[in-house]
């Protein structure tokens, strides 16, 4: 059977790092098995859903290289949900409820006050037909709950958590439809998984109790459920998901110069026993993907680790990978010269200024000015002008180490550190290099 996974975001905001990780892992689960990864837009909340967020979701997935093989919109499937609902209603598996939000809240508080779990008491099932008719005559529209089968224990072998057991009598019958006819998450999601042929659902551990309920929905609809796996949630270094981390999305990562390959390399293995490494080859990540490596402990997202991975990824990138993102005039030699000093590709322009100028003019001691004047005279051009120059100056002045190299770097670049001068000096060119050395020799 072909493996089919899905990513089901609600278009009520931008994707954040936790969503991205879920999408990536579902894509990897499908791709590793030669299967299909689908995108489902959960846009039944008409008031909060925005088309701009739908476009942003597609754009973010494309930037990450996560390409769905198909897409569904829940807002276009309302008739399908109505049909499934009617089947359940006729089978007695959904029932109308008339309590107000305030009445339900009071019931929960009473139960909690008695030290009991706040489970719905199925009070609506005790109403007679006359009482229900009276409620509706008063203008009270019902919301609808799915009736759990208390005689059917809920069990499944979770891909991450192992054997799971739930007593359905310990769960509230979930509300599946509001009084205004709009849908909550549970039933449409199960219906979609059936119709889309989803074989594997990989999602956060905050959905474990949802899975327990949905397993009975699959059964009530006469379908085999998918395989379920629930991964640990993301947390920050401080041990909880901060508001800032919870809102970090692709746009924020792009603005910081994070490469999609770096984000994928980190999130692919975050929360697993595998080492997080700067692996740009997706196939390597896919070959090592295994749910058995996923741990139960919260997965810690660390900005510093992402930046470390990003720097390493940038250092692996070829000129062809970045050519269109580099400043005008920067050729492959220029890229190779500055690449070891970059943490983001965007920094290339700052280092390229050392070649194109103008550079910051530093002040030198009288001794160093004389040394730089000598350097301007001794500069000659060949295959390796930097080592030719430093060799000639060493022999002429007796300088070595920092006193030899630092004034030259400062005069030629205006900086104390930077790219390898062997790579950089040929890019600056003979005439400009001699002019910079001569100019520096006049500034004390």
CATH number at residue 134: 3.90.800.10
- Say if residue 147 carries a ligand binding annotation: no
Report the DSSP pairing between strands 143-146 and 175-177: antiparallel
Determine the pLDDT at residue 36. Answer: 98
Mean per-residue pLDDT for 300-319? 96
Q: Three-state SS string across the chain, please?
A: CCCEEEECCCCCCCCCHHHHHHHHHHHHHHHHCCCEEEEEECCCCCCCCCHHHHHHHHHHHHHHCCCCCEEEEHHHCHHHHHHHHHHHHHCCCEEEECCCHHHHHHHHHHHHHCCCCCCCCCHHHHCCHHHHHHHHHCCCCCEEEECCCCCCCEEEEECCCEEEEECHHHCCCCEEECCCCCECCHHHHHHHHHHCCCCEEEEEHHHHHHHHHHHHHHHHCCCCCCEEEEECCEECCCCCCCHHHHHCCHHHHHHCCCCHHHHHHHHHHCCECCCCCCCCCHHHHHHHCCHHHECCCCEECCHHHHHHHHHHHHHHCCHHHHHHHCCCCCCHHHHHHHHHHCCCHHHHHHHHHHHHCCCCCCCCCHHHHHHHHHHHHHCCCCCCHHHHHHHHHHHHHCCCCHHHHHHHHHHHHCCCCCCCHHHHHHHHCHHHHHHHHHHHCCCC
Residues 10 and 90 in one domain: no
Residue 105 lies in a domain: yes
Mean per-residue pLDDT for 236-264? 81
Q: Record the pTM.
A: 0.90
Q: What CATH number is attached to the domain comprising 258?
A: 1.10.1160.10
Q: What is the pLDDT of residues 272-304, one digit of tens each?
A: 999 999 999 999 999 999 999 999 998 899 989
Residues 97 and 152 in one domain: yes
Mean per-residue pLDDT for 337-363? 95
Residue 222 pLDDT grade (very low, low, confident, very high; cuts 50, 70, 90): very high
CA 80 from centre of chain: 32
Residues 396 and 266 in one domain: no
Residues 158 and 87 in one domain: yes
Residue 162 lies in a domain: yes
Q: Is the Cβ–Cβ distance between 105 and 135 less than 8 Å?
A: no
Residue 119 lies in a domain: yes
Domain boundary among 356, 383, 408: 356
pLDDT above 70: residue 241: no
Residues 202 and 290 in one domain: no
Residue-range definition of the domain harbouring residue 107: 80-177
pLDDT above 80: residue 243: no
Domain count, the chain: 5
Residues 431 and 381 in one domain: yes
Residues 129 and 207 in one domain: no
Residue 54 lies in a domain: yes
Residues 341 and 370 in one domain: no
Residue 65 lies in a domain: yes
Domain boundary among 301, 335, 356: 356
Q: What CATH number is attached to the domain comprising 57?
A: 3.40.50.620
- Give φ, ψ of 195 to 5 degrees: -70, -30
Residues 167 and 84 in one domain: yes
How far is CA 278 from each of CA 52, 194, 305, 344, rounded to the nearest angstrom?
Answer: 32, 38, 10, 14
Residues 170 and 88 in one domain: yes
Determine the pLDDT at residue 443. Answer: 78
pLDDT above 80: residue 208: yes
Residues 149 and 8 in one domain: no
Q: What is the pLDDT of residues 127-183, one digit of tens each?
A: 999 999 999 999 999 999 999 999 999 999 999 999 999 999 999 999 999 999 999
Residues 312 and 323 in one domain: no
- Give φ, ψ of 271 to 5 degrees: 90, 5
Domain boundary among 356, 382, 415: 356
Residue 157 lies in a domain: yes
Q: What CATH number is attached to the domain comprising 408?
A: 1.10.10.350
pLDDT above 60: residue 242: no
Residue 302 lies in a domain: yes
- Closest by CA to 419, choosing from 293, 310, 335, is 335
Q: What is the pLDDT of residues 386-398, one digit of tens each?
A: 999 999 999 999 9
pLDDT above 70: residue 239: no
Residue 386 lies in a domain: yes
Cβ-count burial of 92 within 10 angstroms (0-12 exposed, 13-18 middle, 19+ buried)? exposed
Mean per-residue pLDDT for 28-49? 95
Determine the pLDDT at residue 160. Answer: 97
pLDDT above 60: residue 309: yes
Q: Is the Cβ–Cβ distance between 341 and 363 less than 8 Å?
A: no
Q: What percent of the chain has pLDDT over 70?
A: 98
């Amino acid at each position: 059977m072909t493996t089919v996974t899905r990513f089901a975001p609600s278009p009520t905001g931008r994707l954040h790092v936790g969503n991205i990780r879920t999408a990536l892992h579902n894509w990897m689960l499908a791709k590793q098995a030669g299967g299909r990864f689908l995108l489902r837009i959960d846009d039944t909340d008409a008031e909060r859903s925005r088309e701009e967020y739908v476009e942003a979701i597609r754009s973010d997935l494309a930037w990450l290289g996560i390409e769905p093989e198909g897409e569904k919109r829940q807002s276009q499937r309302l008739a399908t949900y109505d049909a499934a609902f009617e089947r359940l209603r006729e089978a007695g598996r959904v029932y109308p409820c008339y309590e107000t939000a305030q009445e339900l809240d009071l019931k929960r508080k009473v139960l909690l006050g008695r030290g009991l779990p706040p489970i719905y008491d199925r009070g609506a099932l005790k109403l007679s037909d006359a009482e229900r008719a009276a409620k509706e005559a008063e203008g009270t529209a019902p919301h609808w709950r799915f009736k759990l089968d208390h005689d059917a224990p809920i069990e499944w072998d979770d891909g991450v958590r192992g054997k799971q057991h739930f007593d359905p009598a310990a769960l509230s019958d979930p509300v599946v439809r509001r009084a205004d006819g709009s849908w909550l998450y549970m039933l449409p999601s199960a219906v979609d998984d059936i119709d889309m042929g989803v074989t594997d659902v990989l999602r956060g551990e905050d959905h474990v109790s949802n899975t327990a309920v949905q397993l009975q929905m699959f059964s009530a609809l006469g379908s085999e459920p998918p395989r379920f796996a629930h991964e640990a949630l993301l947390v920050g270094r401080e041990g909880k998901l901060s508001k800032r981390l919870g809102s970090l999305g692709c746009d924020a990562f792009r603005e910081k110069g994070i490469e999609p390959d770096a984000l994928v390399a980190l999130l692919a293995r975050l929360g697993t026993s595998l080492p997080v490494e700067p692996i740009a080859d997706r196939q390597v990540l896919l070959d090592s993907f295994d749910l058995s490596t996923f741990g139960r402990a919260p997965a810690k997202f660390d900005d510093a680790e992402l930046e470390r991975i990003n720097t390493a990824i940038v250092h692996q990138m070829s000129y062809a990978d970045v050519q269109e993102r580099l400043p005008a005039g920067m050729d492959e030699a220029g890229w190779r010269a500055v690449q070891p000093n970059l943490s983001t590709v965007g920094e290339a322009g700052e280092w390229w200024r050392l070649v194109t100028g103008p550079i910051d003019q530093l002040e030198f001691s009288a001794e160093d000015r004389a040394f730089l004047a000598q350097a301007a005279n001794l500069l000659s051009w060949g295959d390796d002008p930097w080592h030719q120059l430093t060799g000639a100056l060493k022999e002429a002045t007796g300088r070595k180490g920092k006193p030899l190299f630092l004034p030259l770097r400062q005069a030629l670049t205006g900086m104390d550190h930077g790219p390898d001068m062997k790579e950089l000096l040929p890019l600056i060119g003979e005439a400009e290099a001699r002019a910079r050395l001569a100019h520096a020799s006049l500034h004390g």
